[in-house]
Amino acid sequence: MSPPLVLIVEDAQPLAVIYAKQLERGQFASLHADTLARARALLPDAQLAAVLLDLELPDGRGIDLLQELRDAGNNVPVVVVTAHGSVEAAVEAMRAGADDFLTKPIEAERLLTTLRHVLERKQLLSIVDTLRADLATGRFEGFIGADLSMQAVYRVIEQAARSTATVFITGESGTGKEVTAEAIHRRSERRNRPFVAVNCGAIPKELMESELFGHVRGAFTGATTDRAGLIVQADGGTLFLDEIGDMELALQVKLLRFLQTGVVQPVGSDRTRSVNVRIVCATNRDPLAEVQAGRFREDLYYRLYVLPIELPPLRKRGRDVVLIANHFLAEYGVLEGRRFHGFTPEAESLLRGFRWPGNIRQLQNMVRSIVVMHDAELVTPDMLPAWLRAESAAPAPSDARPPPFGAELVTREVIRPLAEVERDTIERAVALCGGNLTEAANRLGINVSTIHRKRQQWRSEESG
């Protein structure tokens, strides 16, 4: 990455040389123009970070150049340089759009500090302008929504993107954890390097180490060639570890070692390699509860839990559910050649009244189903699935007291083991979804890896 470039507009050659050396020590590059004409010739082609502008030049006043820049909409930061005691000139320059001013003679530290401040201010203003533009349309880096809870998330993403610290994203399934990770990557200085995502719950535990760290030929049965792991593939970029709570404890130790050393060792190899990668991880569980339960290493938790981001569930995002639903309606309407352009007020009310256990993923699948099965200009309540209409129309739970002891509802016959209810619920969902495990998981609001793991456990218990 090249250093910030500063244009020095100063007719006194000795001063220009001094400024250039001071800037070089402060990790800046510089160009020199000794007249307004020379400065005007350099401005169109130079990718400038800032201008250091003397107000008294042989062919005119520096303030004229400043006015030309601002009239042309050029907002490059300008620091004007005035003679000692020229307060009036400094005030005039600030009114004309200068970002700051310095009085001769200029101390090196003062020069560098002033330039850094104006550059930081420009960056912050750029972030604010971007956020305002995004929020005006209800969009931000793949997100749709302007609820206050999401605006807070957007601000944290902006701050996290400027850092290299590890990010830990929490939230229910379907709330957009991978979208968050991608947003952080795109807004960071690593945006032009790889973004590699891995679902720690979807890869068999016996293959996970090889997937992360790679392996050499012959390391295990089936390893017919050398293979670079995902960590190496993400070198210079971002590695997203989704559902990190599903990672087994033995592999957590190896991940911790990598985080501490920045060195990877492929399976079956005695060679190591240094890797520069930024880690972003996510889970739909309470990470601290997992630590307390002994399923997640405490030292790894504190190593990863540096910049936390908690994503709100869809049911807590107010009218965002309608914004998102309309987005999917427009997208799938074009894809399927339908005429839809919105929801009726009654349908919107039902959308807002539903709890959305599967969050955005569940909403997305529902809207696509509607578009495939119907063709109209507006989505009406009768087009919404029965399960949504039933819950949205149901009265809010009251503070009714539990039935008295001995009541007919509280009997041995109607109380079933929780494990049995869980299995029946999952298997029924899979059957209703025609065997599509991903759709069943979305409807249930859980990770598809959970269904795989549960069914494998049940088969093992039956065969045992």
Q: What is the DSSP string of 260-318?
A: HH-EE--BT-S--EE---EEEEEESS-HHHHHHTTSS-HHHHHHHTTEEEEPPPGGGST
231, HSE (Cβ side, Cα atoms, 13 Å): 24
| Average pLDDT score over residue span 263-279 | 91
297-334 burial, b at 16+ Cβ within 10 Å, e below that, comes to beebbebbbebebebbbbeebbebbbbbbbbbbbebbe
The one-letter amino acid at 48: L
Question: For residue range 72-120, what is the model confidence (pLDDT) as tens digits?
Answer: 888 899 999 987 656 777 788 888 889 988 888 888 899 999 999 998 8
Q: Which of 195, 124, 192, 113 is nearest to 159 (CA)?
A: 124
195, HSE (Cβ side, Cα atoms, 13 Å): 18
Q: 417-463 has which fold?
A: Arc Repressor Mutant, subunit A (1.10.10)
Q: Where are the alpha helices (DSSP H) in 273-344?
A: 287-292, 298-304, 320-336
Q: What per-residue confidence (pLDDT) applies to 133?
A: 57
What's 401's DSSP letter? Answer: P
Question: For residue range 249-259, what is the model confidence (pLDDT) as tens digits?
Answer: 999 999 999 99
Per domain, the residue ranges of the chain are: 5-123, 138-307, 315-393, 417-463
User: Quick check: helix, strand or coil at residue 101?
Assistant: strand
Q: Where are the alpha helices (DSSP H) in 380-445?
A: 386-393, 418-432, 437-444
Cis check for the bond before 357: say yes or no (omega within 30 of 0).
no
For residue 398, pLDDT over 50 is answered with no
User: Quick check: helix, strand or coil at residue 429?
Assistant: helix
Q: What is the end-to-end Cα distance of the chain in Å, rounded?
A: 60
Average pLDDT of the chain to the nearest whole number: 86
User: Do the Cβ atoms of 358 and 444 come closer than 8 Å?
Assistant: yes
For the record, the structure tokens of 309 come out as 């981001």
**Cβ partners under 8 Å of residue 181, min gap 6:** 167, 169, 195, 197, 238, 240, 242, 280, 282
For residue 296, pLDDT over 90 is answered with yes
Q: Which of 458, 397, 390 is nearest to 430 (CA)?
A: 458
The one-letter amino acid at 316: K
Q: What per-residue confidence (pLDDT) applies to 329?
A: 94
Q: What per-residue confidence (pLDDT) applies to 399?
A: 43
| Average pLDDT score over residue span 126-133 | 61
Q: What per-residue confidence (pLDDT) applies to 459?
A: 72
Q: What is the DSSP string of 131-192?
A: HHHHHHHTEETTEE---HHHHHHHHHHHHHHT--S-EEEE--TTS-HHHHHHHHHHHSTTTT
Q: What per-residue confidence (pLDDT) applies to 169?
A: 97
User: Do the Cβ atoms of 364 and 325 come closer than 8 Å?
Assistant: no
User: Do the Cβ atoms of 102 and 115 come closer than 8 Å?
Assistant: no
What's 200's DSSP letter? Answer: T
The whole-angstrom separation of Cα 121 and Cα 118 is 5
User: Do the Cβ atoms of 340 and 376 come closer than 8 Å?
Assistant: yes
The one-letter amino acid at 359: N
Superfamily, domain 5-123: Response regulator (3.40.50.2300)
Q: Give the residue carrying structure tokens 């030049």.
A: 57
| Average pLDDT score over residue span 237-243 | 96
Q: Give the residue carrying structure tokens 């020069």.
A: 111
Question: For residue range 342-373, what is the model confidence (pLDDT) as tens digits?
Answer: 999 999 999 999 999 999 999 999 999 999 99
Report the predicted TM-score, pTM, of the whole model to 2 decimal places: 0.59
User: Quick check: helix, strand or coil at residue 6?
Assistant: strand
Question: For residue range 405-418, what is the model confidence (pLDDT) as tens digits?
Answer: 333 333 334 456 77
User: Do the Cβ atoms of 217 and 225 come closer than 8 Å?
Assistant: yes
The whole-angstrom separation of Cα 291 and Cα 133 is 40
User: Do the Cβ atoms of 205 and 251 come closer than 8 Å?
Assistant: yes
CATH number, domain 315-393, options 1.50.10.100, 1.10.1040.10, 1.10.8.60, 1.20.140.10: 1.10.8.60
Percent of the chain with pLDDT over 70: 90
Rg (CA), the chain: 30
Across 99-103, 186-190, 204-208, which has the greatest mean pLDDT? Answer: 186-190
How is domain 138-307 classified at the architecture level of CATH?
3-Layer(aba) Sandwich (3.40)
Q: Give the residue carrying structure tokens 């059957």.
A: 431
